[in-house]
Chain A
Amino acid sequence: MTSPDTARPDLLSPDLSEHEPFRLLAPDGTATRPAELPDPGTRLSLYRHMRRIRHFDERAWVLYRTGRLGVFPPYGGMEASQVGTAAALGAGDWLFPTYRDTGAALTHGLPVAQTLAYWRTSPHGWAMPPDVKVLPFYIPIATQYPHAVGAALAEKRRGTRNVALAYIGDGGSSEGDFHEALNFAGALTVPCVFILQNNGWAISVPTRTQTRAVNLARRADGYGIPGVRVDGNDVLATYLVTTEAVNRARDGQGPTLIETVTYRVKPHTLADDPSRYRTDADNHGWEEKDPITRLRAHLMSEGLLTEDDDAILTREIETEFEAALKEADGYPEPTPAEILDHVFAEPTPTLRRQRAQIEAEEGA
């Protein structure tokens, strides 16, 4: 292969995964492949999305500390991995997020108020809005991967051009469901895009302990589908690669596995203490690779963004969030008997009896 900075490689070619993760911007924001950059409007939109979800992540921390949010798995530092992949989808496409992928779900259109409600464990956050094809955040690891394959197969059978995109972590890619899903998706040629966010950790277990494999994108080889490694802190690169994979899926050419190489700067959840398992040396260098700083430097140097624009954006994001928080604060608490709602389309006689019991005992 030629030098990575000259000829444009086939992004989804298997041998790309032999090399450094694909990137468009160096950590200091310099464009390493100016010819491949998305148009300025797209770049600004990706920046806005990253700022918006960073704000959510930072506010979540404060809300959690003050008892106004439940346990929350932060994604700070991984915004490029989530925004670049989710922004490559259209409104008709499915997004299957893990608990870590609040940022991706927000990017795909999940309203902020409802997202807050979800992490407050309010039922108002669990019913996804009818026009947003996001599933509730998956807690059991890897189980969502076969679901995405099924949804993709359903879209194919119904003759749409919609695709399904699913996330998983480096730890999750050790689970059997991950492998079964990749195999099914390849064998049935479904329009599915698999995002493997390699953020270095599965709670306390570093990737090197998780698996002997170094290059997780190469796992695709075993299933006869393309696998590509991309710099997960470069939103322009994740966007470009995912867009190609999505287009490929839409065109009936089947699934792709994309490994976004990134880092979990934050703790596993806001209740976790990472100092028990990792050192400053582990973290070294990752703060400097911050995806937002990187794109910001690029946009500023290109004259696409000014300090004033940035300040206006900050205010817009804050205003949106505070309004959503107010809306979420207004959602009523569930009644006790609601725990029995939505088990079946029609409650069974057993459920009816149990509801009567709760209503008698709890008065609701």
Chain B
Amino acid sequence: MTATATPTKTMTMVAAINDALALALEADETVHVFGEDVGVMGGVFRATDGLQARFGAERVFDTPLAEAGIVGMGIGMGLAGLKPVAEIQFAGFLYPALDQVLSHLGRYRHRTRGRYHLPMVIRAPYGGGVHTPEQHADSPEAILAHTPGVKVVIPSTPADAKGLLLAAIEDPDPVFFLEAIKLYRSVKGEVPEGPYTVPLGQARVVTQGDDATVVCYGGMVEVATKAAEAAQAHGIGVEVIDLRTLVPMDTETVLASVRKTGRAVVVSEAPRTNGFHSEVSATIAEEAIDFLRAPVVRVTGFDAPYPPFTSVEDVYRPNPVRVARAIRQVMGY
């Protein structure tokens, strides 16, 4: 990311995403933005607000309500030369389109030996923390990251959201871009004006520390950072690593940190079994076992559907207290 002297603006994450989409639509006329309610209304979270008015109903358009149709049509658009940027209204409603994702999205380049490829981006709000109704808070990133040929990006700051989204749109391969609902408006940050990219596959070291590593992404970065601050108050130096992209994963940054600290906590709000956090844990165990001073600990959701019960939602979703407890656990092993 370019640093020096670029003018910046304070923005929410959703505004940064909107900014990125506008820049992409402006820069490349093959870019098309579509999905349910993205046109006239500007999306249920307003991520596409004003884009149809500015770029026309041919390039920013509402589709019929059918997710397999949205993803499947986008696949056809992509292989025939357009840059489809589809929105799935909530990640929990991606499931009708999973066949298209699993059967085709990641396979086009491979099944045509490079003759066709799919420069498609699928954006979807994901995750909990804002008391949504049933199935609006799912975190299905592991399913996507388990699909060969599909990249998975999950930003945690407005500046990253913009730069990663522009990188995703530039990328010649299909990219899932998951946006933590919790962060859309709750975080604000300085966002460079104009176009720039944050390369896929590079993690961000959020806080530096020598005693324990916390690996996280998306909505969990802010939770982990709060826990790290609390630990710091007790003299424990915690290195928080925001993965930013799950595929490709920046294994090197994770391992370098774990080799330094000897302790690792992995945090995500997805269900525990077979989550992406398990992949991170296994990688650490395989590659850095000699450096570990404690078993890797996962802090995750549970193996139950995300609860729509407002009063107990926070039991499911990891909070700073749970992460701090895990840090204590690896410190005290």
A contact set with B: CB distance below 8 Å: 94, 123, 126-128, 130, 135-136, 140, 143, 145-155, 157-158, 164, 176-177, 180-181, 183-184, 187-188, 341-345, 348-350
Contact B115 A147 (CB under 8 A): no
When distances are taken between beta carbons in the complex, the residues of chain B under 8 Å from A164 are 76, 80
| Distance, CA A130 to CA B84, complexed state (A) | 22
Contact A158 B81 (CB under 8 A): yes
Q: Determine which of B64, B66, B109 lies in contact with A345 in the assembled complex, contact meaning CB atoms within 8 Å.
A: B109
B288 at the interface (CB under 8 A from A): no
Contact B149 A149 (CB under 8 A): no
Contact B76 A152 (CB under 8 A): yes
| Distance, CA A16 to CA B8, complexed state (A) | 64
| Distance, CA A150 to CA B72, complexed state (A) | 7
Known: A140-B99, A348-B201, A350-B249. A146 touches B72 (CB 8 A): yes
When distances are taken between beta carbons in the complex, the residues of chain B under 8 Å from A158 are 81-82
Known: A127-B114, A150-B80, A151-B76. 11 other contacts (CB 8 A): A127-B115, A135-B116, A150-B75, A150-B76, A164-B76, A180-B64, A183-B69, A187-B63, A188-B63, A342-B113, A343-B106
| Distance, CA A184 to CA B112, complexed state (A) | 26
Q: Determine which of B71, B76, B112 lies in contact with A127 in the assembled complex, contact meaning CB atoms within 8 Å.
A: B112
Contact B100 A155 (CB under 8 A): no
Across the A-B interface, give the 5 residue pairs with the lowest CB-CB distance, nearest first: A150-B76, A146-B72, A154-B80, A180-B69, A127-B113
Contact A183 B79 (CB under 8 A): no
B272 to chain A, nearest CB (A): 23
| Distance, CA A135 to CA B115, complexed state (A) | 10
When distances are taken between beta carbons in the complex, the residues of chain B under 8 Å from A150 are 72-80, 84
Contact B113 A123 (CB under 8 A): yes
Q: How large is the interface on B (under 10, 10 to 19, 20 to 34, 35 or more residues)?
A: 35 or more
| Number of CB contacts from chain A to chain B under 8 A | 138
Closest-by-CB residue of B relative to A129 is: B115
Q: Determine which of A143, A344, A348 lies in contact with B100 in the assembled complex, contact meaning CB atoms within 8 Å.
A: A143
Known: A341-B110, A344-B151, A348-B201. A176 touches B248 (CB 8 A): no
When distances are taken between beta carbons in the complex, the residues of chain A under 8 Å from B179 are none
B contact set with A: CB distance below 8 Å: 32, 58, 63-64, 66, 68-69, 71-82, 84, 96, 99-100, 103-104, 106, 109-117, 148-149, 151, 171-173, 201, 247-249, 251-252
B106 to chain A, nearest CB (A): 8
B171 to chain A, nearest CB (A): 8
Contact A146 B76 (CB under 8 A): yes
Closest-by-CB residue of A relative to B76 is: A150
When distances are taken between beta carbons in the complex, the residues of chain B under 8 Å from A153 are 73, 76-77, 82
When distances are taken between beta carbons in the complex, the residues of chain B under 8 Å from A187 are 63-64
Contact B66 A126 (CB under 8 A): no
20 contacts between A and B (CB under 8 A): A126-B111, A143-B100, A143-B104, A146-B75, A147-B75, A147-B104, A148-B76, A150-B72, A150-B73, A150-B78, A151-B76, A151-B79, A154-B76, A154-B81, A177-B100, A183-B64, A187-B63, A342-B114, A350-B248, A350-B251
